[in-house]
Amino acid sequence: MLRYIVNRFIQMVVVFFLFLIISYLLFDAIPGNAFQNLLLNPSLPPYAYEETIALYGLDQPLSVRLQKYIVNFFKGDLGYSYIQFPKTAIELIAERLPRTLMLFSVVNILAFYTGFFVGKILAWRRGSKSETWITITSVFSYTVFYPWFALLMLWFFGLRMGWVPIGKFLTPSKWYDSPFDSDVVFLEMIKYMVIFSVLYFVITLLTKEIESLNLRRNIRLGSFFALLFISNFYWNTGQLSEMRFYAGDIAYHTILPVLTVTIVAFAGTALLTRTTMMEVLKDDYILTARAKGLSQKRIRDRHAARTALLPVVTSFIFTIVTIIDGSVLTETIFSWPGMGQLILESVLREDIPVAMASFSFIGVFALIAHFLADVSYAFLDPRIRIKSQG
Partner 1 sequence: MSDIILDVQNLSMHYETLEGNVLAVKDVTFNVKSGESFGLVGESGCGKTSVAMTLLQLQPENSVISEGSIKLDGKELIGLSENELRKVRWDSISIVFQGAMNAWNPVIKIGEQIREALREHYPENSKQTNIDKINQLFKMVGLDESTANRFPHELSGGMKQRAVIALALSCDPKIIIADEPTTALDVVIQDQILNEIKKVQELLGLSLIYISHDIAVIAEMTDKIAVMYAGSIVEIGPTSEVFNSPKHSYTKALLDSTPSIKGEKKKLKSLDGEPPSLINKIEGCSFAPRCPNRNISCKPERDMKLIEVGHDHFVDSCSLGENYE
Q: Which residues bind to partner 1, rule: CB under 8 A?
A: 209, 211-214, 283-285, 287-296, 298, 302-303, 306-307, 380-383, 386
Cα–Cα distance between 236 and 343 in angstroms, integer? 37
**Residue 91 or 381 having the CB closest to partner 1:** 381
SS3 88: strand
**Residue 170 or 210 having the CB closest to partner 1:** 210
**One-letter amino acid for residue 37 of the chain:** N
Cβ atoms of 142 and 271 within 8 Å: the answer is yes
Query: Is residue 3 exposed (0-12), middle (13-18) or buried (19+ Cβ within 10 Å)?
Result: exposed
Q: What is the DSSP string of 318-371?
A: HHHHHHHHHHHHHHHHTT--SHHHHHHHHHHTT-HHHHHHHHHHHHHHHHHHHH
Smallest gap, in angstroms, from Cβ of residue 38 to partner 1?
57
Smallest gap, in angstroms, from Cβ of residue 296 to partner 1?
7
**Residue 219 or 247 having the CB closest to partner 1:** 219
Smallest gap, in angstroms, from Cβ of residue 284 to partner 1?
4
Q: What is the DSSP letter of 80?
A: B
Smallest gap, in angstroms, from Cβ of residue 8 to partner 1?
22
Query: Is residue 53 exposed (0-12), middle (13-18) or buried (19+ Cβ within 10 Å)?
Result: middle
Smallest gap, in angstroms, from Cβ of residue 135 to partner 1?
19
Candidates 129, 152, 117, 176; CA nearest to 300 is 117
Smallest gap, in angstroms, from Cβ of residue 198 to partner 1?
25
**Residue 97 or 277 having the CB closest to partner 1:** 277
Burial pattern 230-263, b for ≥16 Cβ within 10 A else e, equals eeeeeeeeeeeeebeebbebbeebbebbbebbbb
Cα–Cα distance between 30 and 195 in angstroms, integer? 44
**Residue 125 or 168 having the CB closest to partner 1:** 125
**Residue 96 or 303 having the CB closest to partner 1:** 303
**Residue 107 or 312 having the CB closest to partner 1:** 312
**Residue 191 or 292 having the CB closest to partner 1:** 292
Rounded (10°) CA dihedral 297, 139, 265, 261: -120
Cα–Cα distance between 117 and 270 in angstroms, integer? 7
**One-letter amino acid for residue 109 of the chain:** I
Smallest gap, in angstroms, from Cβ of residue 219 to partner 1?
15
First CA to last CA across the chain, in angstroms? 9
**Residue 59 or 283 having the CB closest to partner 1:** 283
Smallest gap, in angstroms, from Cβ of residue 199 to partner 1?
25
Smallest gap, in angstroms, from Cβ of residue 211 to partner 1?
4
Cα–Cα distance between 71 and 62 in angstroms, integer? 14
**Residue 68 or 385 having the CB closest to partner 1:** 385
Smallest gap, in angstroms, from Cβ of residue 382 to partner 1?
4
If one counts every other C-beta atom within 10 angstroms of the C-beta of residue 76, the result is: 7
Smallest gap, in angstroms, from Cβ of residue 294 to partner 1?
6
**Residue 87 or 306 having the CB closest to partner 1:** 306
Cα–Cα distance between 234 and 355 in angstroms, integer? 38
